[in-house]
Chain A
């Protein structure tokens, strides 16, 4: 038997996720996020194992994953800088900021710096328009960004000074669910059936509310 690509910890967490849904496929996207937490992107080896976990083919996993902007089927840098240029940010200088970022990082939008540290993306609205123009680094928000503050953010990231705020790319949630589902299907069925008959009784008596 070949060694599994996903770590025992990731596999255990994936099984916890599977138990939260009536159908295993529902855990697909959350498990893809876990695989990205391990590798930074969705490696083919991970895709194959995820397929097995949720009962799909690797093509089905890839077909779903490729639909979503946050799931990366190719490697990205340690820090994914996504600059929003949608209408609210555009009105407040987002394209000028994007030009500055491209010059400063010496990459075009969509590319990764030669040292593999930064990937630059042009994002659609990330819902922080009160602080436009804004950007996300690994999906952590930075608002009211100027050319100067952009440079400061990049410098801080390079020095590792923001490690507490910005985890490595792929780590979405650092807070984990505590414990499994508390209510089994049997209990739900019994409770709901009892409530339904009580409701029907009240309706018959005409005292519904």
Chain B
């Protein structure tokens, strides 16, 4: 097992009960990164972040620095924080907003300074009532402390931050849907191009949308420098990352580990991390990177937790969630539940997604209920092909956003890895797992 001695970048305060308070934050080096940033030029701050290959921690993994550099020149941009964490089994941003809201606010002001934003909006998932209260409370204190608002720390730089609650819709995690939602509309993803809100975003203005964890890294990067950050991890996947470990493990939870140097096996089985599978049962499959990701099997356990390393094996690190399923798990039921989620959360704009998700769920349900038909597996794959032609990875898209093309992942994985299990459901007229 290789658990590295990497420093904790975004979870350093979590040992303290009062990690969310300004007092604790200031006592543990809080707002030093912002002071450092404000002593530099905005372009130097942006260059520092660009130098570290800070891959976006929301799901798409797009480098934060590059995202900033793509802003349409001229108009004053907006900064929007994506705190709408809703990818199933992802629960790291939930922890960050509740336990270290000042770290997020400091990251927001640093980013706002680097891109010279007009205003920052922190969009937080509505279901995170406590998280919303914690961030609002921290923001109130940060204003009082002079870290937000007019002439921040006497630097001559001013910016306001607004905390904005969502109201329950998975699709609002998609950045253009989030912008629509922030404009007071239904969370309908926008047609691309433009591919990036950096060109046309909030109110039609250039906009950067960054994830909570991504921004929470910035204070540390400013204090310790890009070299210290880049020394961690390997390749493009530098630094540490939060992994939300769930399902059949002894110690489910959020773990900050060094990227690439840590493997799936380390995370799932190390006694100080996941602690292995309870009850002496064997591993059946792992869902890396959220339920939009294709599944892995036991043969992938020694794969490093790195963005490109996982992509090369046909899946994604995505939102940083890892679901462990042991041998007692019915693959049909798992695929059905994930598909049901997509059916409920499809925004309804695009026909393949709106209709396809419903048909896929019904067929999976009848297989699980023992009334599946002989040609149901072919039918499932045919429908998947309508959503993501070729059912390859990364998927081809027939819809405005990637929700639709993500739906086939669990179904195609389930059928590819456990075809016999699907067939037994149909042949025996029932679920072998009861």
Contact = CB atoms under 8 A, between A and B. Distances in A.
A54 interface: yes
B160 A90 contact: no
A188 B129 contact: no
Contact of B252 (A25, A29, A130, A136): A130
A195 B155 CA distance: 12
A90 B337 contact: yes
A188 B75 CA distance: 12
B341 interface: yes
Interface string B314-343: 000000010101000100011001100100
In this complex, the member of A136, A138, A188 whose beta carbon has the largest number of chain B beta carbons within 10 angstroms is A188
B203 interface: yes
Given A87-B247, A130-B91, A139-B126, A70 B168 contact: yes
Given A29-B165, A127-B86, A88 B246 contact: yes
B43 A139 contact: no
Nearest to A141: B130
Contacts of A22: 119, 203
Interface in B34-64: 41-44, 47
Given A28-B184, A29-B165, A182-B150, A124 B133 contact: no
Contacts of B164: 26, 29-30
Interface string B119-139: 100000111111011101101
Nearest to B325: A91
A140 B143 contact: no
A175 B170 contact: no
B140 interface: yes
Contact of B129 (A21, A28, A125, A173): A173
Contact of A30 (B116, B165, B248, B287): B165
B338 A87 contact: yes
Interface in B344-379: 344-345, 347
Given A86-B341, A127-B91, A91 B329 contact: yes
A202 B76 CA distance: 19
Contact of A54 (B165, B184, B334, B344): B184
B169 interface: yes
Interface residues of A, number: 66
Interface in A37-64: 54, 63-64
B42 A195 contact: yes
Nearest to B148: A182
B76 A189 contact: yes
B136 A176 contact: yes
A191 to B, nearest CB: 6
Given A32-B167, A86-B89, A183-B149, A199 B43 contact: yes
A24 B338 CA distance: 37
A159 interface: no
Most buried by A among B85, B129, B183: B129
Contact of A172 (B165, B186, B247): B165
Contacts of B185: 25, 64
Contacts of B139: 177
Contacts of A177: 136, 139-140, 163
A124 B341 contact: yes
Interface in A122-165: 124-132, 136, 138-141
B137 A175 contact: yes
B275 interface: no
A20 interface: yes
B189 to A, nearest CB: 13
A139 B127 contact: yes
28 contacts: A26-B183, A29-B165, A32-B167, A65-B167, A68-B187, A71-B167, A85-B337, A86-B337, A87-B88, A87-B334, A91-B246, A91-B247, A92-B247, A124-B345, A127-B90, A127-B93, A127-B94, A136-B127, A139-B129, A173-B129, A173-B133, A174-B133, A177-B140, A188-B119, A188-B158, A188-B159, A191-B157, A202-B43
Given A33-B165, A172-B129, A183-B149, 12 more contacts: A26-B184, A27-B184, A33-B167, A65-B167, A86-B88, A87-B89, A87-B337, A124-B345, A126-B127, A129-B89, A140-B130, A182-B149
Interface of A: 20-23, 25-30, 32-33, 54, 63-65, 67-71, 85-88, 90-92, 124-132, 136, 138-141, 172-179, 181-183, 187-189, 191-192, 195-196, 198-199, 202-203, 208-209
